[in-house]
Structure 1
Amino acid sequence: MATTDPQKRPRKTDGMEKIPTIMIKAMFGMVLLALALVTWARVTDKPLSALPDHNAPIAIERQIVIEGSNSGRATVYDTEGNIIREFGPLEGGFISGIWRVLRHERGKIDAPVDAPVRLVRYESGRLSLYDDLTGWRAELIGFGADNAAAFARLLD
């Protein structure tokens, strides 16, 4: 007679084996190694070598003021207050998102939200955005080619 109590039934195996102990030890070893490398880099003030060179030759640079909204609308001005480009809610999402980041970063130090930022295209084609008030910067290609192109058009 078969038992119907699930506690007393023999356990069925599904063919899956346990993870070998050596693999678990290897994973923890890799985590500890990564932690040791990061700790060593921070303690010795190792420079952040993955960041692009700031001294690379600049092809064009422009100061812009970004004004955005949570709806995705964005307007970009030059330093004299002339409109460079207006974006609707469907096309200005990324630029409005950058405005929200700037608003947040500047809010930390009580800096004016409407201060200009530097949009820089290097001779290599790399496009960067710098906020000299807070030290914040963005390498725009890291957000995708379409988003970088939205900023590249502001330089043309």
Structure 2
Amino acid sequence: MTQTDFQTPLRVHDKEKIPRFMARAMLALVLTVLALVTLARLNDMPLIATPPPGEIVISRDIVLSGDMAGSATVRRPDGTLIADLTPEEGGFISGVYRVVLHERGKHDVALGTPLTLLQRDTGRLEIHDPSTGWRADLMGFGADNASAFARLLAQ
């Protein structure tokens, strides 16, 4: 009997999956960006991608509470109810509440202290936690999410 070999010979691929010049170009890009960022931070260059400053037009202290389902309750510091929101209405506000909980946990701050909701003359909305120094420009989360907090200022 003759022995037959059914194994196919291994094909040698002489083409690289990522061409060498492309890998070198990516490495050069990463090193260039790293050098530019290092140079900017060491020379204390001003941050130019920050929101434009403006005067505070409206300021309101609020106390948030929420749950993982997305419902949220917003009160004044004296306990007066401003809004009791369902998960459909308060999902973003409840998400901000969870971020505030996380920040306060990191700084070991009491949970019931108020946040400050600000509207500037530039039209931008911000939320600020004076107890931790955390702040967020709400315009960066989209118009619908910012309008959820804008309605709280109007009430």
TM-score band, normalised by shorter chain:
0.7 to 0.9
Return closer, same or farther for 1:4/1:11 CA change in 2, 3 Å cut-off. farther
The 2-side partners of 1:139 and 1:75 are apart by 21
Secondary structure at the counterpart of residue 30 of structure 1:
helix
Q: Counterpart in 1 of 2:69?
A: 71
Q: Counterpart in 2 of 1:5?
A: 7
Secondary structure at the counterpart of residue 96 of structure 2:
helix
Q: Counterpart in 1 of 2:97?
A: 99
Residue identity opposite 1:43 in structure 2: L
Alignment deviations for residues 36-92 of structure 1 (CA, whole Å, 9 cap, x no partner): 1122223233333212244x1222111111111112111011122111111112221
1:79-94 equivalences in 2 (<5 Å): 79-94=77-92
The 1-side partners of 2:41 and 2:92 are apart by 32
Matched, 1:33 2:32: yes
The CA deviation at 1:106 is 0.7
1:26-65 equivalences in 2 (<5 Å): 26-54=25-53, 56-65=54-63
Secondary structure at the counterpart of residue 50 of structure 2:
coil
The 1-side partners of 2:106 and 2:46 are apart by 25
Q: Counterpart in 2 of 1:22?
A: 21
Q: Which runs of 5+ in 2 are unaligned?
A: none
RMSD value, Cα: 2.2
The CA deviation at 1:11 is 5.8
Q: Is the 8 A contact 2:52 2:122 kept in 1?
A: no
Q: Counterpart in 2 of 1:116?
A: 114
Structure in which a larger fraction of residues adopt helix:
2
The 2-side partners of 1:126 and 1:104 are apart by 24
Residue identity opposite 1:42 in structure 2: R
The 2-side partners of 1:36 and 1:45 are apart by 14
User: With structure 2 as the length reference, what TM-score do the two structures score?
Assistant: 0.85
Q: Number of residue pairs matched?
A: 151
The CA deviation at 1:10 is 4.3
The CA deviation at 1:29 is 0.6
Residue identity opposite 2:128 in structure 1: Y
Secondary structure at the counterpart of residue 154 of structure 1:
helix
